[in-house]
Amino acid sequence: LQLQASGGGLVQPGGSLRLSCVASGFIFDDYAIGWFRQAPGKEREDVACTFRVTFYADSVKGRFRTFRDSAQNTVYLEMNSLEPDDTAVYYCATDRVSYCPPPRHYSSGSPYYRYDYSGQGTLVTVSS
């Protein structure tokens, strides 16, 4: 099983980026794919997850959107109105199950979810 995130970079506050996560080694359409991020000195944070329903962290709701392209075995994280607090390494992950982690993991201050599989992350830096 492989998950490869890409698309990170340097962007100014208020800007946009689209991250990609290419999956291989498993039946893509059968499983939920999530995103989490890790910023220096901060707790890891679950950002989003998609399968038949989609969940978003309170901190990104209304600004980020995740969606799947089954033909490409790819999940995207579209990030708009980026803020300096969004600076982090972003990872895609899965447990190879057909549901996302419980919604409580996406609430501010809640413990993060530990996925079984995640790939190398991609760095997003929001700075002027």
47-91, pLDDT tens digit by residue? 999 998 999 999 999 999 999 999 999 999 999 999 999 999 999
Query: What is the percent of the chain where pLDDT is above 70?
Result: 100
Query: What is the percent of the chain where pLDDT is above 90?
Result: 84
What gap in Å lies between CA 112 and CA 116, rounded to an integer? 13
Confidence bin at 27 (pLDDT 50/70/90): confident
pLDDT of residue 25: 86
SS3 content of the chain, % helix, strand, coil (to 5): 10, 45, 45
pLDDT of residue 6: 97
Confidence bin at 44 (pLDDT 50/70/90): very high
What gap in Å lies between CA 104 and CA 112, rounded to an integer? 9
Higher pLDDT, 56 or 110: 56
